[in-house]
Amino acid sequence: MTQSTPIITLDGLGKRFGEGKKSFTALSNIEFEVFENDFITLVGASGCGKSTLLRIIAGLEHFTEGEVTVLGKPVRGPGMDRGMVFQNYSLYPWLTVYENIVYPYSVPRFSRQNPDVLLEAGYRASMLIQLMGLETSRDAYPSQLSGGMQQRVAIARALITRPKILLMDEPFGALDAQTREVMHDLIRHVYLMEGTTILFVTHDVDEAVYLGNKVLVLAPRPGRIDSVYDVPFERFRTREMKFSAAFYDLRERILARIRETAGTSTDEDLLRKLSTKMQAG
């Protein structure tokens, strides 16, 4: 697959929840192409459909209009070509770190295969354990790990089958600021080492600019693509970048655009809207 062949194609994609009068259009006419080795971060006002879009690409949610194609094939459900990481780690508490990571290979499709495949899975798990800095926790259970470590395990598990695409839904949303920073550098490292194409949903515009090569802004009601920003930074990111004028300028432009799409021109506007909503509800 060359740079000019899209790895994911969204063609007139739409999603309606429910039927008839009570139906709700969550996404409308999404047209977008993702290319191999893209790192795309998705931002937008709350409820604009970021998670729904990611879940549709993952094959976890049906769509009601248009078509989604991954690696040239229409999406009809989840597949080994797409790994998914959620905010809440979703590890199996009764399995160790190593067992959680190799778990995808315990499905019958793999476990009935020749032992070489399982041996190779073991090697890959050990490599991922090293890549994620989990060597000393290999035999620990999830409850013995911090949130950041649990999320490293979840990322390793998503990567074990060498998916071409990694779909991440606010994966660092539950982590403290310091751990998030470490995870940012880790995920950029994984991206460069593994050559995976990444789609990453976040509420945090700083995170979106630091991680992404492109930032996709979705507008709400109905969810649609509003704008795409190219991130003008090197493949290797450094924390100093966050203090540069270019970073600040891009972040401010994206934040302003999100506010505009949400119909709020300032943070005060947004707070006023929220408090009116709370009083009403």
Ligand X SMILES: Nc1ncnc2c1ncn2[C@@H]1O[C@H](COP(=O)(O)OP(=O)(O)OP(=O)(O)O)[C@@H](O)[C@H]1O
- Near ligand X by CB under 6 A, which window of 42-50, 89-97, 233-241, 258-266? 42-50
- 75 vs 159 by CB, closer to ligand X: 75
- Near ligand X by CB under 6 A, which window of 40-48, 67-75, 78-86, 254-262? 40-48
The answer to whether residue 52 forms part of the interface with ligand X (CB under 6 A) is yes
Interacting residue with ligand X among 41, 51, 137, 151 (CB under 6 A): 51
- Near ligand X by CB under 6 A, which window of 48-56, 72-80, 156-164, 259-267? 48-56
Interacting residue with ligand X among 34, 36, 50, 70 (CB under 6 A): 50
Q: What is the DSSP string of 223-268?
A: BEEEEEEE--S-SS--GGGGGSHHHHHHHHHHHHHHHHHHT-SSHH
Q: How far is the CB of 26 from ligand X (least distance, A)?
A: 4
| Number of helical H runs and strand E runs in the chain | 9, 10
Interacting residue with ligand X among 7, 8, 13, 48 (CB under 6 A): 48
The answer to whether residue 17 forms part of the interface with ligand X (CB under 6 A) is yes
* Element containing residue 190 per DSSP (H, E): helix 177-194
The answer to whether residue 265 forms part of the interface with ligand X (CB under 6 A) is no
- Rounded to an integer, what is the distance from CA 31 to the centroid of its chain? 18
Site of tokens 């739409």: 14
Q: How far is the CB of 29 from ligand X (least distance, A)?
A: 15
Provide the mask over 203-222, with x wherever binding to ligand X is found by CB under 6 A and - wherever it is not: x-------------------
The answer to whether residue 274 forms part of the interface with ligand X (CB under 6 A) is no
DSSP, collapsed to helix, strand or coil, labels residue 191 as helix
Residues 134/188, Cβ–Cβ less than 8 Å: no
Q: How far is the CB of 179 from ligand X (least distance, A)?
A: 20
How far apart are the C-alpha atoms of 147 and 161, rounded to whole Å?
A: 23
Closest CA to 196 of 277, 128, 136, 138: 128
Interacting residue with ligand X among 16, 33, 47, 81 (CB under 6 A): 47
Residues 139/112, Cβ–Cβ less than 8 Å: no
How far apart are the C-alpha atoms of 266 and 95, rounded to whole Å?
A: 47
The answer to whether residue 273 forms part of the interface with ligand X (CB under 6 A) is no
Instruction: Using CB under 6 A, list all residues that contact ligand X.
Output: 17, 24, 26, 44, 46-52, 203, 223
